[in-house]
Structure 1
Amino acid sequence: MSEVALYSIAQTLLSQGKLLEAKIACLKALNLQPKSATACKLMADIMLAKNQIAAAKYWYDRSLKLDASLAPSHANLGSLYAREKQWELAISCYQNAIDIDPNFAGFYRTLAKVWQQVGRQDLMIECWQRAISLEPEKTAAADYLNLADNLLELERKEEAISYYRLAIKLDTSLSKAYQKLGKMLVETGELEEAIAIFSEGISVNPKDYLSYQKLGDIWQKKGRLDEAAICYQKAIAIDPKLFWSYHSLGNILNRQGRWKEAVEIHRQEIALKSDFYRSHYLLGNA
């Protein structure tokens, strides 16, 4: 049987999870053609599937000595170094893979994760954006959310907003995306859209107390105290330990002259945080 036929058999056996048989077939192929870089790479894949990391590294390295243009060998070797937190070696391997095949999105996704591990948010973002441009259909809502969070940390707010929108478009049940997008819209002064986003977040997750609280803040800012009070009450009903919702609700009740209700709310507020001076002041005024 030829080396090519044995290689094909080994590939099929690996895909079927028959690792011992795959290894035997691959070794036979290598006996016929010891300098086959692709067979060495396949042997590395088999060793990796068997979780024999040292052997996998040996065979990936051997495949690259025979053919340095095997981008998957560079990338897989990088993944093994990343497992061991050998970040510089992992980065070097991934960059080699990208130099060989700059249009393979998977290389950018894996390199992005390494850049995140070493605290290089700027390079992580760059890799993710490149991966998205190559394969937008393979980008998950959680990936857009993570990218938006990192952009926000770098004060790249407009980009962050666009990715929060994409996250919601892909997964309408992603509460954190609604919360964070709504907060960003408040900061940029787009209150009407923020109201719509928080309301939409609540409709998909009625227990989203943070969106109720943020919506209450907007209504209070707009002077619509009744709507604000309802939002704070709903937030507290979901999570009775929300100090700021008690504080804001108590403040509204004071302003409306609803003294008896205000006293009760301020007492609950103080029970949660007794050292906040403003709470005692408002209770005294009530």
Structure 2
Amino acid sequence: MNLNYLTQAIANCEAILHQQEFQAETWQQSCRDLGNLLQGLGRFDQAIVWHSLALESKPSLVEAYTHIGQLYVRESQWESAINCLKQALKYQPNSVQLYSTLAQIYNQLEEPEAEMECWYQATQINPNLVNAGGYHKLAKAFYHRNKLDEAINCYQRAIEQSEASETRQSNFEPHYELAEIWLEQRKINQAVSCYQQILDQDPNQSRAHHKLGTIYLRQQQFEEAITEFRQTIQIEPEFPGGYRDLVKTLIQFQKWDEAIATCHAIINLVEEYPWVYVQLGNALREKGRISDAIASFQKACVLKGWQECRRKDYSFTQDNFSYRISLWQSCLQSLANQADIQALEIGSHQGMSTCWLLDRILTHSSAKLTCIDSSFDRYFENNLDKTQARSKVTLMKGEIQQLLATLIPNTYDVVNLQDRCKLTTQIEQDAAYIWQLLKVEGIAIFNDYGWINPTNPSQNPKLGIDRFLESIKNQWEIVSHAPQIYQLIIQKKYE
């Protein structure tokens, strides 16, 4: 019974504060009633507060709303407590205590967004309210909610707090995460500064060296990139990313001999990664060591699970496909060894994807493959013979779109578009032809999705593909999107 009276007494005090004309006698009587109720409940500390307020003819609104809010908190009347504390904030907007109390209430209500905002406002008033770990936690929360300005501010505070502590060398995560935000915003100098701050404190941070190296590589500062990647490997000899990017940089810088030596070092000292053999093959080819390059590309394919590449002795002097094998295997496995499967390939190059399709998917005797290209490489012809499945293949040579126009609609279960021409308009037109040729439930594979030619903006396959897909919205669904290998695979759902 007393608790019901208490709830009503709290509400009465709050109502008086909202009246346009404040009545001191009514306020004082309500405070006395509330104090007596609290005293009767044995809550003497709170009773003293309200008996004191009863002596005031006109109380501080901040103090009154704060105390009422605290009573509501004690009674778990969260929304009423929030309203009172927000009223108090109108009169005292720089109160750390009010924001902290609100944050704790939102924590009870499991409203992390509101809790986070209150803690942030409290730290803006008193930067020393939380330690580096607290700022780091706030920063991550803001980042995941895409509130980047607040996230950056909290990361910077976390870094400042961390650098002022004795344990600073064990907590570089705020530096790394802030650097990633700067990179997302294309603020390269700020990102570099973050990594440099790390290395100023600990020169043996291999991750920071590697990150700097990738930035320099992107900026085509090859010598600086090579230096950073070498530092990465020296500090952490088994870090594959350092080796991979070092080799990539050496090849872009056309340091073929050093690239070859580095690839062999990786193979002997670390592991036989497929990408090592691809890069080794690229360097060997540029040195004119064609047979060694072919052997290296074969090894990359074997490591990706395509053993037939070596067993049938396919000859490829370039590898534009092995890194897609795992994705294709998972997306096309349901078609493997199925009767009457029809596949279409636009742009066959040296036939790496062609041979894989014949070896792994189009294995039924009734399966068929049509290859269209403006011209067929001599390596393509030789490799096709080695598949022992040439009878399944129809070759069409000439102007690609003219040839596509001669094919029968709704015929193909899978279409692989890798046209040599990368012009946006051409690819958009290719996509339109493909759509007509594809069966319902058929799969379309778009290569070079996301690749652009920085020196020729008109070569942007993704733009052309997206334009077409927008025109047939809701008629398809994504099977896989792998930006790292410039691949989009979709399935046709409706005509």
TM-score normalised to the size of structure 2? 0.40
1:115 matched to 2:142? The reply is yes
Q: How does 1:144-155 map to 2 (within 5 A)?
A: 144-155=175-186
Residues 274 and 299, structure 2, Cα contact 8 Å, conserved in 1:
no
Between the aligned partners of 1:146 and 1:204, the Cα distance in structure 2 is 21
| 1:99–1:146 CA distance, 2 compared to 1 (3 A) | closer
Letter of the 1:195 partner, please give it.
I
1:92 matched to 2:84? The reply is no
> Which of residues 231, 234, 242 is equivalent to 2:274?
242
1:73 to partner: Cα distance? 7.4
| 1:134–1:173 CA distance, 2 compared to 1 (3 A) | closer
1:183 to partner: Cα distance? 0.5
Match of 2:152 in 1: 125
Q: How does 1:53-64 map to 2 (within 5 A)?
A: none
Q: Which moved more, 1:234-243 or 1:148-157?
A: 234-243
For residues 19-56 of structure 1, the C-alpha deviation after alignment (integer angstroms, 9 at most, x for no partner) is xxxxxxxxxxx96633799xxxxxxxxxxxxxxxx99x
1:216 matched to 2:243? The reply is no
Residues 212 and 234, structure 1, Cα contact 8 Å, conserved in 2:
no
Match of 1:4 in 2: none
Q: How does 1:107-186 map to 2 (within 5 A)?
A: 108-133=135-160, 136-138=163-165, 140-186=171-217
Between the aligned partners of 1:254 and 1:102, the Cα distance in structure 2 is 59
> Which of residues 45, 52, 67 is equivalent to 1:33?
45
Match of 2:103 in 1: 78
Residues 87 and 118, structure 1, Cα contact 8 Å, conserved in 2:
no
Residues 148 and 159, structure 1, Cα contact 8 Å, conserved in 2:
yes
1:207 to partner: Cα distance? 0.6
Q: Which has the larger radius of gyration?
A: 2
Q: Which moved more, 1:172-181 or 1:131-140?
A: 131-140
For residues 151-177 of structure 1, the C-alpha deviation after alignment (integer angstroms, 9 at most, x for no partner) is 111211111111122223334444332
- The number of residue pairs the alignment matches comes to 236
Between the aligned partners of 1:185 and 1:36, the Cα distance in structure 2 is 68
1:267 matched to 2:292? The reply is no
1:228 to partner: Cα distance? 0.8
Structure 2 gaps of 5+ residues are 1-41, 50-72, 307-319, 322-348, 353-376, 383-495
Higher normalized strand content (fraction of residues): 2
1:71 to partner: Cα distance? 3.1
| 1:194–1:88 CA distance, 2 compared to 1 (3 A) | same
Higher normalized helix content (fraction of residues): 1
Structure 1 gaps of 5+ residues are 1-29, 38-53
Residues 232 and 246, structure 1, Cα contact 8 Å, conserved in 2:
yes
Residues 225 and 252, structure 1, Cα contact 8 Å, conserved in 2:
yes
1:184 to partner: Cα distance? 0.2
For residues 184-234 of structure 1, the C-alpha deviation after alignment (integer angstroms, 9 at most, x for no partner) is 012223322222211111111001122112112222223221111122233
For residues 236-286 of structure 1, the C-alpha deviation after alignment (integer angstroms, 9 at most, x for no partner) is 45242333x32221121122233443232111123328672568489889x
1:225 matched to 2:225? The reply is no
Letter of the 2:214 partner, please give it.
K
Match of 1:205 in 2: 236
1:70 to partner: Cα distance? 6.7
Between the aligned partners of 1:197 and 1:279, the Cα distance in structure 2 is 37
Letter of the 2:274 partner, please give it.
L
Residues 141 and 171, structure 1, Cα contact 8 Å, conserved in 2:
no
What is the root-mean-square deviation of aligned Cα atoms in Å?
4.0
| 1:101–1:117 CA distance, 2 compared to 1 (3 A) | same
For residues 122-174 of structure 1, the C-alpha deviation after alignment (integer angstroms, 9 at most, x for no partner) is 32112222443466334521221111112111211111111122223334444
Query: Aligned with 1:119: secondary structure?
Result: coil
| 1:236–1:283 CA distance, 2 compared to 1 (3 A) | farther
Between the aligned partners of 1:256 and 1:85, the Cα distance in structure 2 is 63
